[in-house]
């Protein structure tokens, strides 16, 4: 009985391994916000661009708004460890939940969760934004990949 259970567990582990790599899409690219497809409840954003560079263990995100010289940059691992947001009094952590990349960001007493999901064709990035503290209605940001 123990041998059958061991073989079954090993088979399940080997079967599950290939799925892990497929569940973690690479979000690298330049992404331009499509305000017409997005849903805003908290604040209006019109010309935001994200540049994402990602490898197996780290993610680097630069955010900028049209007409603004201000750029926010993050360089973090994707294993849930906390990192600092460059130029801000904020921290962030990233991890994968299946095919979704989750970011938890803390700025003072504000906590926001971002869930990023890539479309099947790789051309659209949808970011569900949940305002944990203080609570506000959720936003959905839709970005189109730039050539």
Burial class (CB in 10 A: 0-12, 13-18, 19+), 44: exposed
> Is the preceding peptide bond at 134 cis, omega within 30 degrees of 0?
yes
- Residue 80: CB atoms within 10 Å: 12
**For 119-133, how does the pLDDT look when each residue is reduced to its tens digit (9 = 90+)?**
999 999 999 999 999
Q: What is the DSSP letter of 31?
A: E
Q: pTM to 2 decimals?
A: 0.80
**For 87-128, how does the pLDDT look when each residue is reduced to its tens digit (9 = 90+)?**
889 999 999 999 999 999 999 999 999 999 999 999 999 999
The superfamily CATH assigns to domain 26-145 is Calycin beta-barrel core domain (2.40.128.20)
Residue ranges of domains in the chain: 26-145
Q: How far apart are CA 36 and CA 7, in angstroms?
A: 52
């Amino acid at each position: 009985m123990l041998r059958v259970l061991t073989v079954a567990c090993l088979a399940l582990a080997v079967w599950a391994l290939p799925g892990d790599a497929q569940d973690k899409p690479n979000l690298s690219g330049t992404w331009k916000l499509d305000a017409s497809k997005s849903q805003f409840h908290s604040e209006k954003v019109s010309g935001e661009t994200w540049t994402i560079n990602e490898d197996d263990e780290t993610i680097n995100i630069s955010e900028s708004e049209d007409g603004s010289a201000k750029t926010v940059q993050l360089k973090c691992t994707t294993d849930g460890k906390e990192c600092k947001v460059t130029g801000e009094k904020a921290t962030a952590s990233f991890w994968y939940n299946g095919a979704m990349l989750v970011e938890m960001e803390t700025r003072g007493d504000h906590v926001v969760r971002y869930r990023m999901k890539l479309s099947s064709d790789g051309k659209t990035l949808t970011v569900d934004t949940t305002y944990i503290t203080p609570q506000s209605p959720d936003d959905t940001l839709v970005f189109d990949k730039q050539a």
